[in-house]
Structure 1
Amino acid sequence: MTGMPVPSERPGLRERKKLKTRAAIRKATYRLVAAQGYEATTIEQIAAAAEVSPSTVVRYFPAKEDILLTDDQDELLLARLRARPAGEEPLESLRAVVLDAVTASLAREPEETRLRARLVVETPAVRARLTETTAETGRLLSAAVAERTGRAPDDLEVRVFTAAVLGALREATVHWAEHGGGDDALVPLLDRTVDILKAGLTLRSPGPDRP
């Protein structure tokens, strides 16, 4: 998941160098994929564009899909979730932190956000890896949800709830990409998705032409 600023200690020099390298690899990958397509972009090309070795790329990102889908924001998302007001409904807490994260992502890297969503729609490997990373994020955020609800992190209700919310938001993002991916449409769509989860799905009343 893409994130937002969270107050924290400034990382050390070594950590800053790692973050800089990861950012250079991601930037180079997005530039190459936008220009020539996902399948045509190789690890060797990414390494050359980022001015690192292919082994460095693989060390930071074991799979090419990870370059597009991992953004070092899960821990920040977890911190923001834990910082939400006590007593707030878990669904509203997740709504707030995810919508803030997406808003920040669209403001910071709109082209990359649209490209990433389009690749999820068009590229089976990217979509499959997104399912895996969403599950990983869900397991991480389950710890905060458990804390807020007084439950154990492996509680079935906690796991199902967190996975359902993140899965629904993932599908809403895919829907957004399939329907044009306008910058001003994603956040309202995600907000609507949470409302759907909250209200549930109801039967439509039969219309004049509907049996």
Structure 2
Amino acid sequence: MTRKKRVAVFVSGRGSNLQSLLDGIPKYGIPAEIVLVVSNKPEAFALQRAENHGIATVVFPPADFAGPEAFAGALLQRLREAEVDLICLAGFTRILPSRLLAAFPQRIINIHPALLPAFGGKGMYGMHVHRAVLASGAKYSGATVHIVTEEVDGGPIICQEVVPVKDDDTPETLAERVLEVEHRIYPQALKLMAEEALEIDGLRTRIKHRAD
């Protein structure tokens, strides 16, 4: 039986994707447990969600540190203390330090509110994404879970789901429908990671064949 993976979730806001993971772990039999929730914002409601589930929380406002190296060092120490195996980014608004990426190669995943590689990269987060989708005239949007690399939103894609763009959509209505999809696919992606079920070949991922 696969040992349960110890997961840290990084948040900056209300934490609805954190909640989808908390709900999805027992619902889908995911061999994982969330042991730590990390935020850069002490006012993030996601911290309250974590505390309601008895999960340890820690707040690391980057302004409290002398620089990126000090921030990365404190973060890594806390992750090691919690014996974290995997990291899920759930609305985390900071770009991760290179040192953290190096410490968790192919073990950090992120949820993005569009169909990558379109509408990704620096500055493409939250409502900025949905405004850009509508401005482009695209007929479809969606959500993507991907492995985090040095290139922002540029890592291997684990799973995606499409959301049609309606003629009368606003950024807000599109965001609402995309969020429903995010909540559906993020637990699926965590399950694949926790079960070590993915083969990664460059930017491509595939599910490993298993013997019956």
Q: Same fold (TM over 0.5)?
A: no
- State TM-score, norm by structure 1: 0.32
More helix per residue: 1
More strand by share: 2
